[in-house]
Structure 1
Amino acid sequence: MSVRPYRDIQRRASRQIHVGRVPVGGDAPITVQTMTNTPTADVAATVAQIRRAEAAGADIVRVSCPDEASSAALRHIVPQVSVPIVADIHFHYRRAIEAAENGAACLRINPGNIGSAERVREVVKAAKDHGCSMRIGVNAGSLEKHLLEKYGEPCPEAMVESALDHARILEDNDFFEFKISVKASDVFLAVAAYQGLADACDYPLHLGITEAGAQRVGTVKSSIGMGMLLWSGIGDTIRVSLSAPPEEEVKVGFDILKSLNLRHRGVNVISCPSCARQQFDVIETVKVLEDRLAHITTPMTVSVIGCVVNGPGEARETDIGITGGGNGTHMVYIAGQPHHRLKQADVVDHMVELIEQKAAELEAEKTASKNGAATAAAE
């Protein structure tokens, strides 16, 4: 029995595939993806952007391959990055084959849109030959004409039918290493489509609210839509679609997963909105603190509360906490317990020092545990 059953999320059972070395589905952690917006043929710019996404924690990065120069560039991009690369393919089957040959770990493609059965067979053969998985990517804005005529408009039923039609083409070619997405910019439509698809198949699902908008609005829409699905156990990999740099998409993706206790990376700062009771500038402190802690990947929870009303209670549940006190004297908590007072000192500098020290301790413990397990296994 769970100690806190109200926090439990029972993930939907799905089969597992691989995007390069990264497992997706089954019991694998929910992965975070993003997509580059540089011209893919500009190798230097694309590699630089992928590396920024990697630094933010991206597990998988997608690049668009609209032309031969783009698919050819993969040969030079893939060796320079650590994350597996998904090639985004629309309509032209040759781009898919070239992408597979040039190092893509996955092809984002709709089999029904690339031509004859023979062309589909060629793409599947290239994927099998080069160890590529695929993603069937259904979008409400580009549904097939016959489905729009059948249903009258983009709707959940049309999107699910489109996804299953494309899946059937791959299944008929004895190919099952794929995941599916049914994205829409309308939160209601996307959520209903994913719920229908989750009931209709056991393939891994790639979640997203497409064309969600600028950073603030897009974050809200994505959090509502994907949060509802993830909370109900649906979703194996996610991409937050923002009109913002790719690394910002990754940060929001991890924040969504952290909020649902599904994935932990870096420092989770719990802070109050501040009020007249605050004994230091909470808003500015948190802003600077998050920037200063961006390099830490060790999972950790930190509380920054401006006064003693909620401060001690919040600190009790965190690794490190600070609560504002009178006369410039604040209380610092370690592992939930009062530890020492901080008087007339820089809050940010002090907290960063403590957090970096704690992160180093946790990483050392993790390394020692791994080494101990390896030694025991070897004996």
Structure 2
Amino acid sequence: MFMRKQKRIVNIGGVKIGGDNPVAIQSMCNTDTRDVKATVNQIHELENAGCEIIRVAVPDMVAAKAVADIKKQIHIPLVVDIHFDYRLALECMKNGADKVRINPGNIGDRDRVKQVVEMAKEREIPIRIGVNGGSLERELLQKYGGVTADALVESAMGHVAILDELNFNNVVVSIKISDVPKMLCAYRKFNEISDIPLHIGVTESGTLKGGTVKSAVGIGALLAEGIGDTMRVSLTANPVEEIYAAYDIQKVLGMRKTGAEIVSCPTCGRTQLDLISIANEVEKRAANIDKPIKIAVMGCAVNGPGEAREADIGIAGGKGEGLIFKKGEIIKKVPQDSLVDELMKEIETL
């Protein structure tokens, strides 16, 4: 992996990003924010899954006022998503929001922007400038002939300039688009010219399967290059799936050392047991393991232990039976029908 460029540190309700801090994982509720109970319940579910920052949509003043009740009942920083109406941003900050996602150029004249900035300064609340390919300014679309990486970066820098003029630098930037190559290019360009922390992601990436692949490619490429300070995997699915996918991306890159990592072989003609079912069962039962552990599920009793030598523990199948091994060393042979149970018992002792 490339070295991360040092960014200014931004404190989002106690979660620090930038500098040498870990890349924070966040999601967004798909509940109606005005429904406090449903929103709080979903946030609690996301907290349990490992979400570190949560965002909610604020379409009107009723939702802005609900922020106060939501904030009292959750344990992670709360970000509010505002479009166009500066008064919603002011109300949310009064009610305890930890960060505001807003574009200064879209909320009216300088006086309105100044009111938002002054309250954010007073309460030490960061502002995220969220540039999106689907809502790029008309003049930039005309200038560049459509949505391009340069257009996205110019849009972001234009909004940053408004805050710079008001001496406000407690800022995070996101530059999201569903086109992965353009997204990568835009983030790389912005990263070269600014020390502002970046929230990375592929917007409108798709369903659970397709969106996870698209996000893994886009987000993973940036993280591998040292770009990104906080991230969201945007999926048309239960938001909890976004958290699982985000942790998986970071674990593959070696950025997170918590929870179980499962490695398994694709099977071949030598496999003499139902390895696919066994691997799925191991993954399911290992989902709640919070200690850092690498588990191998291999189909060949001859090559399996050697191929998975770097795993902490694993199994390798044979005909009607399997081997359990630690660090490549065989520790026992067990019948196939008790292979997963015996594996889980051994994991508990680690």
TM-score (norm 1): 0.89
Match of 2:335 in 1: 343
Match of 1:34 in 2: 27
Query: Which secondary structure does the structure 2 equivalent of 1:138 belong to?
Result: strand
What displacement does 1:113 show?
A: 0.6
- The amino acid across from 2:85 in the alignment is H
CA contact 1:303–1:314 (8 Å) conserved in 2: no
1:1-150 alignment, distance < 5 Å: 8-150=1-143
Match of 2:206 in 1: 213
- Given the alignment of the two structures, is residue 356 of structure 1 paired with residue 336 of structure 2, yes or no? no
CA contact 1:144–1:162 (8 Å) conserved in 2: yes
Which digits, 9 at most, give the CA deviation of each residue in 1:108-149, with x for residues without a partner?
Answer: 111111111111111112212223112110001101112112
Which digits, 9 at most, give the CA deviation of each residue in 1:11-65, with x for residues without a partner?
Answer: 1221111111111111001111111100011111111111111111111111111
CA contact 2:81–2:102 (8 Å) conserved in 1: yes
Match of 1:156 in 2: 149
CA contact 2:321–2:339 (8 Å) conserved in 1: no
Cα separation, 2, equivalents of 1:229 and 1:286: 30
- The amino acid across from 2:239 in the alignment is P
- Given the alignment of the two structures, is residue 277 of structure 1 paired with residue 270 of structure 2, yes or no? yes
- Given the alignment of the two structures, is residue 301 of structure 1 paired with residue 309 of structure 2, yes or no? no
What displacement does 1:70 show?
A: 1.0
Cα separation, 2, equivalents of 1:297 and 1:20: 24
Match of 1:370 in 2: none
CA 1:140–1:271: 2 relative to 1, 3 Å? same
What displacement does 1:309 show?
A: 4.8
- The amino acid across from 2:338 in the alignment is D
Please point out which of 191, 195, 198 is paired with 1:202: 195
Cα separation, 1, equivalents of 2:250 and 2:66: 33
- Given the alignment of the two structures, is residue 189 of structure 1 paired with residue 165 of structure 2, yes or no? no
Gaps of 5+ in 1: 1-7, 359-379
What displacement does 1:286 show?
A: 2.0
Query: Which secondary structure does the structure 2 equivalent of 1:279 belong to?
Result: coil
Gaps of 5+ in 2: none
Which digits, 9 at most, give the CA deviation of each residue in 1:326-379, with x for residues without a partner?
Answer: 3x3322112442222223542222222222332xxxxxxxxxxxxxxxxxxxxx
TM-score (norm 2): 0.96
What displacement does 1:275 show?
A: 2.8
Query: Which secondary structure does the structure 1 equivalent of 2:244 belong to?
Result: helix
CA contact 1:254–1:264 (8 Å) conserved in 2: no
Cα separation, 2, equivalents of 1:350 and 1:306: 16
Match of 2:160 in 1: 167
Cα separation, 2, equivalents of 1:194 and 1:176: 19
Match of 1:376 in 2: none
Match of 2:173 in 1: 180
Cα separation, 2, equivalents of 1:357 and 1:192: 47
CA contact 2:153–2:186 (8 Å) conserved in 1: yes
Cα separation, 2, equivalents of 1:82 and 1:354: 34
- The amino acid across from 1:218 in the alignment is G
What displacement does 1:178 show?
A: 1.3
Which digits, 9 at most, give the CA deviation of each residue in 1:89-124, with x for residues without a partner?
Answer: 111101111111111111111111111111111111
- Given the alignment of the two structures, is residue 329 of structure 1 paired with residue 321 of structure 2, yes or no? yes
What displacement does 1:274 show?
A: 2.1
Tell me the C-alpha RMSD between the 2 structures.
1.4
Cα separation, 2, equivalents of 1:44 and 1:51: 11
Match of 2:235 in 1: 242
Which digits, 9 at most, give the CA deviation of each residue in 1:222-275, with x for residues without a partner?
Answer: 111112111111111111111011010111111111111122331000011223
Cα separation, 2, equivalents of 1:51 and 1:356: 27
- The amino acid across from 1:280 in the alignment is L
Cα separation, 2, equivalents of 1:99 and 1:69: 10
- The amino acid across from 2:49 in the alignment is A
CA contact 2:17–2:230 (8 Å) conserved in 1: yes
Q: How many residues align?
A: 350
- The amino acid across from 2:38 in the alignment is A
Match of 1:5 in 2: none
Which region of structure 1 is more displaced relative to structure 2, 328-337 or 72-81?
A: 328-337
Query: Which secondary structure does the structure 2 equivalent of 1:247 belong to?
Result: helix
- The amino acid across from 1:216 in the alignment is K
